[in-house]
């Protein structure tokens, strides 16, 4: 039973390019969470999705960031026109249920470096 998968594990982009980060939840999990960890800082919630629905995106920057979790395929976190401040580790987690009463299983993260 594969765990949460994220790819790529490392991504280098130049300022102004787009970054696409993918997350495949654990089998049977329909809830996906994205978190960002800036250098030397703690994890911060970004967005919570269920299949085809964004449930809570209150942690997402208002511009350039978007997320989706289509009926088929992985969840995608998309960052348009990346800037140096977007350099961070982006973690995806999945769970079977909603809210904080379910264990979340984390992926290995995607480390984004913006040059």
Residues near other proteins (CB under 8 A) = 33, 35, 41-45, 48, 55-56, 58-59, 89, 91, 93, 98-106, 108-109, 111
In sequence order, the 6+-apart residues with CB closer than 8 A to the CB of 110 are 6, 7, 8, 9, 10, 11, 21, 89, 90
C-beta of 98: minimal distance to other proteins in Å? 7
Closer to other proteins by Cβ: residue 46 or 82: 46
Query: CB count, 10 Å around CB of 96?
Result: 14
Please state the closest distance from residue 64 (CB atom) to other proteins, in A. Answer: 21
Looking at the DSSP assignment, which residues form a beta bridge with residue 93?
33, 106
Q: Minimum Å distance from CB 88 to other proteins? A: 11
């Amino acid at each position: 039973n594969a765990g949460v998968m994220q790819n790529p594990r490392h991504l280098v982009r130049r300022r102004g390019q787009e970054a696409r980060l993918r997350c495949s939840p654990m089998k049977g999990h329909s809830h996906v969470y994205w978190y960002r960890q800036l250098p030397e800082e703690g994890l911060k919630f970004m967005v919570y999705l269920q299949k085809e629905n964004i449930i809570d995106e209150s942690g997402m920057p208002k511009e350039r960031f978007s997320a989706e979790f289509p009926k088929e395929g992985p969840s995608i976190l998309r960052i348009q026109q990346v800037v140096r401040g977007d350099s961070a580790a982006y973690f995806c987690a999945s769970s079977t249920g909603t809210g904080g009463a379910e264990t979340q299983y984390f992926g290995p993260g995607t480390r984004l470096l913006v040059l």
